[in-house]
């Protein structure tokens, strides 16, 4: 028997040029785990990655059908409005074959009922943590020759029974390295699953069905590293855990042990963690073991916002964590939601002052990221349900799984839209500049490669900051015409700097 695991087409769109939040980083391992589960169940498994494809459903269907698989399973990720491509594809596959068509991953889990209606040719969905569900399904299909109701499987017109989470993560097979993962010099690996946090914007809890973090036994983690590092040339390790470090002494000890494991393999590593899990001691030790980057989801510089989104940290803890990471010499990456939907203008200004005070607005690329991100609302998320309840969802028929929302303060919406357009001009311009020169480097010199004219990083940075402040100041005062004129002026100036 043979299964085909398919990555759905999900090309980048201008609107979501720099948005990466359509799936958490841990989802990058989903297809690799599915392939390994299938082989362990005695099936042949093939992987086809159509991630960057925009259209040509017929061509894609032809390639899938050529594999002559007995089951076709899509790792379906939110596709920023390209879901119709997948629907067309399913229809073509259904026309040409009777092979059952399924989907798994965060998006099908959260959007399950709507997705089954939207994609009438989709036969089943594996919801939530899928590995044991898939193993059972493949065993059962080998016997019955059909998809039958099982815990964790949604079929049309059948009630779904939940499947308990995997207690012992050592039972998981070692994931294949496939897709874009293979092209990276860094190895994505999970040392735990889930998170004890309850942030209102996050999908992790909805996906696993609880706020529980499960730890991987260290022996199995080490075995996975050894096996996967032998597969290809790797220069670093990245732990994709939603939060790499937990609270308490045992957790710290465990993080240190994992760090020394990476060191034994001679590789630097990066990780993501909550700010309230860090202190000088642990960062110093992890840095000594080769930690090279840490991602902190700080989200806001306002205590009122942090409370609203249920982040359960405060700005003082953020300041401290940023200081600690900087002192350790480990590279700091940040997650920040400038335009939280209930934010008021004063909070935008507070955010700006906070970032400036922490000297986080000194480089144009980080500035562009920090000053523009809004909350993304995807179908099936808690945010979607809330905004629907509050009649604040702004729906667009072309985007059935994604919504805009009405900001509580309309002036914030104005600033957000203006910064969104300015950022699109920035990211597009920077990409063009890099394409022209074939490099993103040498910016410190003030010149990118052979750019046709001098590129001044400081001027670009200053413009982004000035624009944000001007938009905030003007949002409550200017007529909409004057605001538009001002916005166009900034965009025009930025484009001139980047062309």
Taking contact as CB under 6 A, which single stretch among the options 196-204, 245-253, 372-380, 383-391 is the one that binds ligand SF4?
A: 196-204
**Does residue 383 belong to the site contacting ligand SF4 (CB under 6 A)?**
no
| Count of residues making up the chain | 499
CB 332, min distance to ligand SF4, A: 16
> In the window 275-304, what residues touch ligand SF4 (CB under 6 A)?
297
Q: Which of 72, 172, 195, 221 binds ligand SF4 (CB under 6 A)?
A: 195
Q: Over the Cα atoms of the chain, what is R_g?
A: 23
Q: Which of 243, 328, 367, 375 binds ligand SF4 (CB under 6 A)?
A: 243
State the number of binding residues for ligand SF4 (CB under 6 A): 10
Q: Which of 103, 115, 126, 204 binds ligand SF4 (CB under 6 A)?
A: 204
Taking contact as CB under 6 A, which single stretch among the options 130-138, 139-147, 198-206, 464-472 is the one that binds ligand SF4?
A: 198-206
Smaller CB separation from ligand SF4, 202 or 460: 202
CA angle 273, 279, 283 (to 5 degrees): 70
Helix boundaries (H) for 265-363: 280-288, 303-308, 315-328, 345-357
Decide if 23 contacts 105 (C-beta within 8 A). yes
Compute the distance between CA of residue 318 and CA of residue 74 in angstroms, rounded to an integer: 39
Q: CA quadruple 75, 76, 78, 80: dihedral positive or negative?
A: positive
Decide if 335 contacts 275 (C-beta within 8 A). no
CB 330, min distance to ligand SF4, A: 19
Smaller CB separation from ligand SF4, 25 or 234: 25
Pairing, β 124-126 against β 153-155: antiparallel
Q: Which of 69, 73, 85, 199 binds ligand SF4 (CB under 6 A)?
A: 199
Q: Which of 102, 108, 197, 246 binds ligand SF4 (CB under 6 A)?
A: 197
Q: Report, in this order, helix, strand and coil percent for the chain, each rounded to 5.
A: 45, 15, 40
Decide if 350 contacts 469 (C-beta within 8 A). no
Please report how many Cα atoms fall inside a 13 Å half-sphere around the Cα of residue 151, on the Cβ side: 8
**Does residue 242 belong to the site contacting ligand SF4 (CB under 6 A)?**
yes
In angstroms, the Cα distances linking 399 to 34, 253, 422 are 28, 46, 22
> In the window 22-61, what residues touch ligand SF4 (CB under 6 A)?
none
Taking contact as CB under 6 A, which single stretch among the options 167-175, 195-203, 366-374, 405-413 is the one that binds ligand SF4?
A: 195-203
**Does residue 321 belong to the site contacting ligand SF4 (CB under 6 A)?**
no
**Does residue 259 belong to the site contacting ligand SF4 (CB under 6 A)?**
no
Smaller CB separation from ligand SF4, 197 or 259: 197
Binding-site ranges for ligand SF4 (CB under 6 A) = 195, 197-199, 202, 204, 242-243, 274, 297
């Amino acid at each position: 028997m043979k299964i085909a695991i398919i990555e759905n087409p999900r090309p980048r769109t201008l609107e979501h040029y720099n948005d990466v939040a359509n799936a958490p980083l841990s989802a990058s391992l989903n297809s690799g785990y599915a392939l390994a589960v299938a082989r362990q169940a005695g099936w042949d498994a093939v992987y086809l990655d159509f991630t960057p494809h925009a259209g040509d459903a017929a061509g894609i269907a032809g390639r899938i059908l050529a594999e002559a698989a007995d089951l076709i399973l899509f790792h379906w990720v939110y596709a920023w409005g390209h879901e119709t491509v997948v629907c067309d594809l399913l229809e073509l596959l259904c026309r040409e074959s009777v092979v059952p068509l399924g989907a798994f991953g965060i998006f099908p889990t959260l959007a399950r009922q709507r997705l089954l209606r939207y994609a009438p040719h989709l036969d089943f969905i594996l919801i939530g943590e899928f590995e044991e569900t898939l193993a059972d399904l493949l065993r059962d299909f080998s016997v019955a020759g059909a998809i039958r109701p099982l815990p964790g499987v949604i079929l049309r017109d059948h009630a779904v029974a939940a499947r308990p989470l995997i207690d012992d993560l050592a039972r998981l097979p070692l994931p294949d390295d496939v897709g874009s993962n293979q092209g990276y010099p860094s190895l994505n690996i999970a040392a735990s699953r889930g998170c004890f946090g309850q942030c209102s914007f996050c999908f992790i809890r909805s996906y696993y069905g609880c706020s529980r973090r499960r730890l991987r036994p260290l022996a199995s983690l080490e075995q996975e590293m050894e096996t996967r590092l032998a597969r290809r040339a790797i220069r670093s390790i990245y732990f994709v855990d939603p939060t790499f470090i937990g609270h308490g002494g045992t957790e710290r000890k465990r993080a240190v042990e994992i760090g020394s494991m990476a060191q034994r393999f001679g590789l630097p590593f990066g990780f993501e963690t909550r700010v309230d899990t860090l202190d000088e001691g642990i960062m110093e030790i992890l840095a000594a073991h080769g930690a090279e980057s840490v991602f902190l989801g700080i989200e806001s510089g306002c205590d009122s916002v942090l409370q609203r989104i249920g982040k359960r940290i405060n700005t003082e803890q953020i300041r401290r964590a940023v200081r600690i990471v900087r002192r350790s010499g480990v590279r700091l990456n940040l997650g920040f939601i400038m335009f939280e939907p209930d934010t008021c203008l004063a909070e935008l200004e507070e955010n700006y002052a906070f970032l400036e005070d922490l000297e986080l607005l000194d480089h144009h690329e980080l500035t562009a990221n920090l000053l523009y991100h809004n909350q993304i609302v995807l179908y099936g998320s808690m945010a979607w349900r809330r905004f629907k309840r509050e009649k604040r969802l702004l729906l667009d028929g072309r985007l059935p799984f994604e919504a805009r929302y009405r900001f509580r303060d309309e002036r914030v919406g104005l600033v957000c839209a203006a910064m969104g357009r300015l950022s699109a001009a920035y990211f597009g311009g920077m990409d063009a500049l890099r394409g022209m020169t074939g490099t993103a480097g040498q910016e410190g010199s003030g010149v990118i490669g052979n750019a046709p004219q001098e590129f001044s990083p400081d001027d670009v940075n200053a413009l982004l900051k000035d624009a944000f402040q001007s938009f905030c100041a003007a949002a409550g005062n200017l007529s909409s015409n004057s605001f538009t004129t001002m916005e166009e002026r900034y965009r025009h100036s930025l484009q001139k700097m980047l062309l």
